[in-house]
Amino acid sequence: MATQMKTRDFECSDAEWQARQDLAACYRIFDHLGWGESIYNHISVAVPGEENVFLINPFGLLYDEVTASNLVKIDVEGNNVGPSQYMVNKAGFTQHAYFHEKLGTRANAICHVHTTATMAVCSHKDGLVPTNFYACNFQGQIGYHDFEGVTVRSEEGERLVQNLGDHSILMLRNHGPVVMDKTIQGMFVKMWALQRACEIQVATLSQGEANVISQEVVDVHQRDLSVMQSQGGAGVFDFEAWKRRVSKIDDSWKS
């Protein structure tokens, strides 16, 4: 039987409370880094030990207002199965629910953002090009999906998954990226590197013709990078460092 932990005015398992705190911290980190989009966009995480249930931000709150206790616990059918009285944004629910349901643990943590740099690259005909260190991380590891309008129709989900393939990043053309991973820490560090890759590409192309890195060098880069990443616990050190940073500013996300 799962251990129960009293959290303000509701009970949940220790594992769920940890997931809530990590997700709330992630929203605050995104806000601190300037990755928010008013009350829109989403980060979601699967609830440990529960099938087809995930946590997502309450619609109507800015990222710096999200806390562990006000996150919405929702199933893939759209039912609020937790204590939060908030609603969720249909665009976020539709897309995230399909990924959580169909992809299982490989999509335990998902984010979708509209940062200027990532949207700009999604809107470029060539997408992400190997013109910088960070962009080389992702070559051959990104899927692309043509723009079909706001993602509120469930029937688009099948095409989203098909275009994602076996990758963990899906660039929605003319829209923005979807980034996922088995852990919230891995998702965060992947999103951080993607943001840097896109920022640098936009800056590089503004100067004129870019120096494109050869596939041979990209292959060596990815091989060596995989060894280095294994030493960092797939983003654990990065995520914990940024949690410390936002906690110094405001630790209300923990509540």
pLDDT recorded at residue 4: 44
Q: How confident is the model at residue 187 (pLDDT cuts 50, 70, 90)?
A: very high
Q: What share of the chain is helix, strand, coil (3-state, %, to 5)?
A: 45, 15, 35
Lowest-confidence segment of 131-140, 180-189, 219-228 by average pLDDT: 219-228
Q: How confident is the model at residue 89 (pLDDT cuts 50, 70, 90)?
A: confident
Closest CA to 120 of 193, 197, 198, 34: 198
Q: What's the average model confidence in pLDDT over 93-100?
A: 88
| Residue 164 amino acid letter | L
Token pair in block for residue 205? 């192309």
Alpha-carbon distance 135 to 160, whole Å?
Answer: 22
Residue 49 has pLDDT above 70, yes or no: yes
pLDDT recorded at residue 35: 98
Cβ contacts of residue 87 below 8 Å, gap of 6+? 58, 59, 60, 72, 80
Residue 142 has pLDDT above 70, yes or no: yes
Q: What's the average model confidence in pLDDT over 143-169?
A: 92
Beta bridge partners of 171: 144, 177
pTM: 0.93
Cβ-based neighbour number of residue 77 at 10 Å: 10
pLDDT recorded at residue 180: 97
pLDDT recorded at residue 5: 44
Q: What's the average model confidence in pLDDT over 43-70?
A: 96
Q: What is the largest CA-CA distance in the chain?
A: 61
